[in-house]
């Protein structure tokens, strides 16, 4: 990602996914691209920012907790989660936060 998500006026929600990858790709790149494409089609999706430099941080923005629950339950996303646990990550953490304020340039 090379842009900052254009989010609406708060409140909205952020899912913060922090991860440490295993060595090699083993299909990760293709799946990661598919997840961005699929997430952007989900009702309630507001945007995404991602960076990887040793540790990876992806923040996706959502209009509601219900939208986040639907995304977590998506069949393709569930398969990506399974592969992440078995093949792609040595460690990860998911945090969900309500955004009360945002500002910037």
Answer whether 36's CB lies under 8 Å from 2's CB. Answer: no
Would you list the domain boundaries of the chain?
Answer: 12-99
Residue 27 Cα distances to 54, 72, 85, angstroms: 18, 20, 14
What is each CA distance from 37 to 19, 42, 54, 103, in whole angstroms? 20, 9, 23, 27
12-99 CATH: 3.30.70.100
**Helical residues (DSSP H) of the chain, grouped into ranges:** 28-40, 65-73, 75-83
Tell me the per-residue pLDDT of 76-86, one tens digit each, with 9 for 90 and over.
999 999 999 99
| Cβ neighbours, 10 Å, residue 105 | 3
Mind listing the pLDDT tens digit for each residue in 31-77? 999 999 999 999 999 999 999 888 999 999 999 999 999 999 999 99
Question: 76 near 87, Cβ under 8 Å?
Answer: no
Please give the model's pTM, rounded to 2 decimal places: 0.92
């Amino acid at each position: 990602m090379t842009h900052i998500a254009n989010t609406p006026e708060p409140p909205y929600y952020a899912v913060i996914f922090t991860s440490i990858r295993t060595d090699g790709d083993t299909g990760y790149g293709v799946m990661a691209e598919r997840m961005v494409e699929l997430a952007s089609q989900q009702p309630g999706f507001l945007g995404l920012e991602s960076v990887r430099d040793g540790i990876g941080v992806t923040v996706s923005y959502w209009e509601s907790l219900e939208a986040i629950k639907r995304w977590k339950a998506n069949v393709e996303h569930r398969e990506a989660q399974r592969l992440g646990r078995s093949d792609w990550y040595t460690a990860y953490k998911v945090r969900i936060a309500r955004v009360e304020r945002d500002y910037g340039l």
